[in-house]
Homo-oligomer: A and B are copies of this chain.
């Protein structure tokens, strides 16, 4: 580390050299991937070997990998290393279909921690900072991911984990927290609780926020910055690609540098799957370049974004992606958790008293993101209040086990939820800046 950069040579590497590095690392990645049952079969069939790659552009010879591929090969079909060398497993929420599983070697965990440290250093965090993490820990990558990265940087970490806003604020005040990792909706919530507690966040040492895992607009970011008196930096990551740390904003706050020494990024037209020119929106496709246990090649993220053309004033040569604009599937994110309507649907189907018609509404109430599931009762009398309460609680608990958060449940009479002619609208997103309705 030196001045502005954590790893100056890598972060400011000339593009041509960076492409050479990518070519070499892609070859090594293919060599490793061939040891996994999944890629051994798929690439073997096509005769793809490290020698098939003469430049990064040859990546297009490799077929895409989809979430369905991960599900079909659950849990370890993509593991290329020896499981004896695995030191951690992370997974997405849920048991429906199958959760997405990622397996890490010690090298992979080290590489990931270094990536997070690089991001934190980039926006001015140093070993003198106190870093508080309000992510959930456990299988969710936002907890341990940032924990290891911040410790690598040498910051004093406060592993507060999710929830309990009063306690978060007590830690911020008492431990002199300077940097906080939070999902955007929770940052807004904290600002509210600061107000309730009669504490001005500006009177604390807090100066930097890392926000990610939830789509948000630049206006929302500016609002958070104003509410808490901090600079807020956007972060992109996903479990399949390790977790947080794939791309991160620099001090310019103008797009997220995607770390091209560790990932190859492509933006493709989601219909034709052909590459789109820089500056145009499309689906982001990512390839890992530094994973020894479970490399993933050309993963269709379903996230819509674009490459921001041009050089960044910060001097880093790694290209920038824009904020995530939406999804090409029906997944939505609430309180930092990825949810597919199918997960909700499969749980509801377990209750014989329920009909098959349901509607998920996402809304912001008092700066809190709320998920409401309206579902029609089949033919039961709807006036036995204690019984309805019991059913509601049961649904809530079962859904919580699946999606790891507790939605509001509204049981309604048969025929109450409008059915459209074509595809049923399953998700209504009324949250600011999100306004998408997902059809099934």
Contact = CB atoms under 8 A, between A and B. Distances in A.
Given A88-B156, A161-B139, A166-B95, A75 B151 contact: no
Interface string A77-108: 00000011111111000010000000100100
Nearest to A173: B75
Contacts of A151: 87-88, 106, 109
A151 B83 CA distance: 13
Contacts of A174: 74-75
Nearest to A156: B86
How many residues of A sit at the interface, in one of the four size bands? 35 or more
Contacts of A84: 127-128, 154
A95 B170 contact: yes
Contacts of A137: 137-138, 143-144, 159, 161
Nearest to A89: B158
Nearest to A147: B144
A161 B147 CA distance: 15
B128 A144 contact: no
Contact of A156 (B74, B89, B138): B89
A88 B367 CA distance: 31
A224 to B, nearest CB: 23
A159 B88 contact: yes
A167 B343 CA distance: 14
A139 B155 contact: no
A75 B175 contact: yes
A154 B139 CA distance: 18
A349 to B, nearest CB: 16
Find the residue from A83, A137, A157, A166 having the highest chain B CB count within 10 A: A137
A401 interface: yes
Interface in A141-187: 143-144, 147, 151, 154-161, 164, 166-167, 170, 174-175
B164 A401 contact: yes
Contacts of A161: 136-139
Contacts of A75: 174-175
A206 to B, nearest CB: 16
B154 A87 contact: yes
Contacts of A88: 151, 156-159
Contacts of A167: 95, 401
Nearest to A98: B174
A84 B127 CA distance: 6
Given A84-B128, A151-B109, A144 B159 contact: yes
A272 B308 CA distance: 73
A401 B158 CA distance: 17
Contacts of A89: 156-159, 175
A186 to B, nearest CB: 15
A128 B87 CA distance: 10
Contacts of A106: 151, 154
Contacts of A154: 84-85, 87, 106
Contacts of A138: 137, 143, 159-161
Interface in A47-99: 74-75, 83-90, 95
Nearest to A141: B159
Nearest to A140: B161
A109 B147 CA distance: 13
A89 B83 CA distance: 32
Contacts of A164: 401, 404
Contacts of A95: 166-167, 170
Given A84-B128, A86-B156, A89-B157, 12 more contacts: A74-B174, A87-B151, A88-B156, A89-B159, A95-B167, A137-B143, A137-B161, A138-B143, A138-B159, A144-B147, A164-B404, A166-B401
